[in-house]
Amino acid sequence: MGKSLQDQLLKAGLTTTHKAAKARKANRVEDRARREGRAESESEAQRAAREAAEAKAEKDRELNRQRDAERAAEATAAQARNIVEHARVDSAGSDTAFNFTVDGVIKTVQVTAEQHRHLASGHLAVAQAASGHALIPAVAAGKVESRLPELILCWHRGEDAAPSDENDPYAGYEIPDDLMW
């Protein structure tokens, strides 16, 4: 009769008697558990481990979704800042102060007379830039506002006008937009 695999491994020196005894004991314990019906409890443990792994995988997917959303928001903000920097209108030779409010604080930008008229009419807007404030065209302001609206500090688009009231006693008097203050 041939020798068992365990005896062959022992004779070849690939294992020790201690490891062989440990393997025999593990086989006996497994056989006994199978006979007594404890094998089902092991499958329950395996099921619990599988469920835990699935829960962890779902949590990891959710974290990845959040990271992707954060990266997308950062990319959109970077695009908006890039638009402001590239569309910036030079205000060299500025001689007029243009005042606007940001969170209840009055801010001032030096502009030319023509730029002041364009700011009042809505053709230019004031945006927050890395180096302070920047004048940008209305087209660029629209793009920036769609990406990161908090960068637009002042933009007169004509939408602030109150609806006309038929009983308004001052309806015949037009208020100019380009008042200096």
Supply the DSSP string of 90-147, one letter for each residue: P-TT--EEEEEEETTEEEEEEE-HHHHHHHHHTSEEEEEETTEEEEEEHHHHHHHHHH
Mean pLDDT of the chain: 85
pLDDT at 38 over 70: no
Q: Is 91 within the bounds of a domain? A: yes
Q: Is residue 112 part of a domain?
A: yes
Q: What angle do CA 104, 106, 108 make, to 5 degrees?
A: 150
Q: 62 in a domain, yes or no?
A: no
pLDDT for 131 equals 84
- C-alpha R_g of the chain: 38
Question: Domain residues for 129?
Answer: 85-154
Does some domain include residue 31?
A: yes
- Asked if residue 179 is part of any domain, the answer here is no
Q: Find the mean pLDDT for residues 14-39.
A: 83
H-helix or E-strand containing 44? helix 39-87
Residue 160 lies inside a defined structural domain of this protein: no
Q: Is residue 130 part of a domain?
A: yes
User: What residue type is assigned to position 71 of the chain?
Assistant: R
Count of structural domains within the chain: 2
Q: What tokens appear for 21 in the block? A: 């005894």
Residue at 106 is within a domain: yes
Residues 93 and 32 in one domain: no
What would the pLDDT profile of 133-175 be if each residue is shown by its tens digit? 899 999 999 999 999 999 999 998 865 445 556 777 877 777 7
| Strand 132-137, strand 96-102: pairing | unpaired
Average pLDDT over residues 68-95: 91
